[in-house]
Structure 1
Amino acid sequence: MTATQARGLRSTGFVLAALIALTAAAACGGDSDEPAKASPRPSERPSEADSPEGPKPSMSAADGRDITACADGNCEIAVSGPVKIPFKGPRGPATLTVTEVGPDTIAYTVKSGNGQSKGSASGPGQGCITVLRSNGSGNSCGGLGAAGRPSPQPDAVVIQAATGENGTAVLQLVSDR
C-alpha cells in the first residue's frame, strides 16, 4: 500500500485492517490518471455497452443487473461488461463507471463533484473498496476473502467491487440512508 493510499484511508476514518494486511500481495489501483491494466477480455464476448441486455452474468446478486437499483446508493448488482451507474453520493449526484470486467478482473472510476477515484484488481478473490465521503474518497484493493457486504459508514457511500472467475463482477453500494 502506498503512503498516499494510507493517508487517504486515515483521512476518511475508515479502517479495513484485514483488507490492508492482504493488500501488499495484490494488484491495486490508485488515484492516477493511468488506465487500469488487466488481462484483455476475449474479443468475441460482447460488453454490456454493446446491447441493452448484455451478456448474462455468471454470478448472482440481490438486485441482478438492475443499475437503477443503485440510484439511492444501496444495491448489489452483477456486471459482465462496461457500464455507468449513477447514484446519490454524499455531495449529490455521483457515477460509478466500470471500465473493464473479465475473468477475475475489475476496473472502475468513481466521480463525484470535481473528484474522482480509480480502482482495479485482478486475480481470484480480489477486489476493491472505495469509501466516498463529502470531503473526499479513499481506496483499498486486495484480497476480499469472505468479506461479505460492507458496513455502512456515516455520511458516506461504500463501494465494494469483487472479481469473478467467469467474467462477472459483483458491485455492492452501501450508504447510511
Structure 2
Amino acid sequence: MAATQARGLPRTGIVLAALIVLTAAAGCGGDADEPAKASPRPSERPSEADSLEVPKPSVSPADGRDIAACADGNCEIAVSEPVKVPFKGPRGPATLSVTEVGPNTIAYTVKSGNGQSKGSANGPGQGCITVLRSNGSGNSCGGLGAAGRPSPQPDAVVIQTATGEDGTAVLQLVSDR
C-alpha cells in the first residue's frame, strides 16, 4: 500500500500544478461567471477632462434664472455668478447684490434707501435670511436644514439665500404684497 501511495504522489503534484496554472490564467478573484477584463491601453484610457461632468443645479427654482421676476419682491431664482437683483422694498427701490457665488458659497449685500445689510454663508446646507423693513433690517446666517420658502411678514421683504454644491445659489424673496 505504501508503494501505491508513493506512485500517486507525483500525479497529485502534477494535477495541483495544473490547477494553479489554470487559476492564474483565469484571473483569480473575480466572479466565475464574469470573464476577465483587460485594462485599457494608455491611449484608450479616458482623460481627466473627459471624466468631469458639468454640474446641474440641485433644485429647480420657480422662476428659473429670471432676475426680472423679483421686481415685485416675490421670486425664487437660481444664480451662478455675481448679479444685481432690483426689487420693490418696504421703502421703495432696493437692490440685492450677489457679490460671490460658488460651490457651497454665497455672499451678498442688500441696499435700501440709506441702509445696507450684508450676509455670507459657506458650506453644504448653509444660507442666510435677511428681513428688510422700513425701519431697518436684520440678518441670520447658518444651517438652513429643511427650511422651505420663508413666510411673508407684514411690511417687510424676507430674503433667503441658500448655497448649492454645484455652485448655483438659490435666492428667495417673499413680501406680503
Given the two structures, how large is their TM-score scaled by the length of structure 2? 0.68
In structure 2, the residue corresponding to 1:73 is in which secondary structure? coil
Distance 1:127 1:62 in 2: 18
Look up the match of 2:145: 145
User: Is 1:96 matched up with 2:96?
Assistant: yes
Q: CA deviation at 1:106?
A: 0.2
Equivalence map 1:67-146=2 (5 Å): 67-146=67-146
Instruction: Specify whether residues 134 and 163 from structure 1 end up closer, same or farther in structure 2 by C-alpha distance, changes over 3 A only.
Output: same
The letter of the residue matching 1:176 is D
Distance 2:172 2:73 in 1: 9
The letter of the residue matching 1:63 is D
Look up the match of 1:29: none
Distance 1:56 1:68 in 2: 25
Distance 2:56 2:66 in 1: 12
4+ runs of 1 displaced by more than 3 Å?
A: none
Aligned length: 123
Instruction: Specify whether residues 131 and 61 from structure 1 end up closer, same or farther in structure 2 by C-alpha distance, changes over 3 A only.
Output: same
Q: Is the helix fraction higher in 1 or 2?
A: 2
Distance 2:96 2:127 in 1: 15
Distance 1:94 1:109 in 2: 11
CA contact (8 A) 1:57 1:78 kept: no
RMSD, aligned CA: 1.4
CA contact (8 A) 2:55 2:166 kept: no
Q: CA deviation at 1:132?
A: 0.1
Which ranges of structure 1 fall in alignment gaps of 5 or more residues?
A: 1-54
Which ranges of structure 2 fall in alignment gaps of 5 or more residues?
A: 1-53
The letter of the residue matching 2:79 is V
Q: CA deviation at 1:56?
A: 8.8
In structure 2, the residue corresponding to 1:69 is in which secondary structure? helix
Distance 1:56 1:63 in 2: 19
User: Is 1:173 matched up with 2:173?
Assistant: yes
Q: What CA deviation, in whole Å up to 9, does each residue of 1:89-121 have, x standing for no partner?
A: 000000000000000000000000000000000
The letter of the residue matching 1:83 is V
The letter of the residue matching 2:103 is P
Q: Which has the larger radius of gyration?
A: 2
Distance 1:74 1:143 in 2: 23
